[in-house]
Amino acid sequence: MSANVPIIRLIDRFGRLHTSVRLSVTDRCNIRCFYCMPAVDAEFVEKSRLLSFEEIARLASLLVNRCGVRDIRLTGGEPLVRRQLDRLIAMLSRIEGLADLSLTTNGILLGEQAWGLRQAGLKRINISLDTLDEKVFQRISRRSGLEKTIAGIDRAIECGFESIKLNALAIRGITEQEVGRLVEFALQRQVTIRFIEFMPLDADRAWRTDNVLDGDSLLQMIESRFGKVVPIPRDDPAQPAEEFLVGEGRVGIIRSVTVPFCDQCNRLRITADGSIRNCLFAKSETPLRDLMRSGANDDELIAKIQQAIAEKKAAHGIDQTGFEPPERPMYAIGG
């Protein structure tokens, strides 16, 4: 980038500066978690309507070089089902000024792909793991796969990523039995585990407040098994996880429902079909794909991105009466 081009900072009406992007590379997935996808008849974007790697790389480099974005997390659907993802990682790793490139995965294909991703330049990885019981895994994901997920986690550890974190959804009626053994599993492997409160983003629209295992209850369960936890001061206020020292390890709690962190939000999202979503719970999107395909120049794309930021609401409003979940469920947004 030329040194003369000024950075157009993505600041919204509430003064929030956006430096972090969640980029979905596919809405397809190899399992069907009930908190995200429907059990059957999931609808997917036609392949020709997905952003190509070249289109993703163009948007990413605009966001970094012209708009001051610092970190990009690839997600989905399941990002590892997108063919040749390592090629995209290599393309994005070459963007100067991108401070952090990371990925969130269910881990099932990591055993085969971890080394290729590491070699392509991926440094940080988050792996979802909600249970250590195959029957519970099947109940949650409506597929088999726990053994492969664990093998994927262990392979990632062998490959020497700079950071590996585990993510577990906190669901009342399921997670109570898992908390202790999941923390134990993470402590043994010296990786951080974070518990994320279940949000109303399931395709089945079955979410109820009662289904959320809240952060306070989680902390009580952790303390009853591992003793008093010690809060670790947050070094980045936009980081949604509160972290605690538990024994020799770290455990995070993300209270997305009970203590929303919208006032610190620095994120925007790009769906696999190339629309900007300024919030997980946004009711509208700003499509970029067709604009790019019809020859829009960089300034025109940046103007659209700015428009999306300007339309961002103050908060997700899950706790407000009359809250309606967004039309697109999690897998179609990019978690």
Tokens of 49: 């309507």
How is residue 176 written in tokens? 């109570």
One character per residue 283-312, x = contact with ligand SAM (rule: CB under 6 A): ------------------------------
Using CB under 6 A as the binding rule, whether residue 106 contacts ligand SAM is answered as yes
Beta carbon nearer to ligand SAM, 250 or 316: 316
Q: Are 26 and 78 in contact (CB under 8 A)?
A: yes
Return all residues near 324 (Cβ < 8 A) that are at least 6 apart: 283
Segment 27 to 66, residues that bind ligand SAM, using CB under 6 A? 29, 35-36
**Minimum distance between the CB of residue 76 and ligand SF4, rounded to whole angstroms?**
5
The DSSP element (H or E) to which 153 belongs, if any, is helix 146-159
Q: Which stretch binds ligand SAM (CB under 6 A): 7-15, 99-107, 131-139, 289-297?
A: 99-107
With binding defined as CB under 6 A, does residue 78 bind ligand SAM?
Answer: yes
Burial category of 30 from C-beta neighbours within 10 Å (exposed 0-12, middle 13-18, buried 19 and up): middle
Residue nearer to ligand SF4 on the CB measure, 42 or 259: 42
The interface with ligand SAM within residues 176-235 (CB under 6 A) comprises 196, 198-199, 201-202
Based on the shown chain and the rule CB under 6 A, indicate whether residue 26 belongs to the binding site for ligand SAM.
no
Strand 242-246 relative to strand 249-254: parallel, antiparallel, unpaired? antiparallel
Q: State how far the alpha carbon of 44 is from the alpha carbons of 41, 48, 117, 211, 329, in Å.
A: 9, 11, 25, 27, 12
| Chain contacts with ligand SF4 (rule: CB under 6 A) | 29, 31-33, 36-37, 76-78, 106, 330-331
Phi/psi of residue 317, nearest 5 degrees: 75, 20
Of 76 and 215, nearer to ligand SF4 (C-beta) is 76
Residues that bind ligand SAM (CB under 6 A): 29, 35-36, 75-76, 78, 104-106, 128, 167, 169, 196, 198-199, 201-202, 330-331, 335
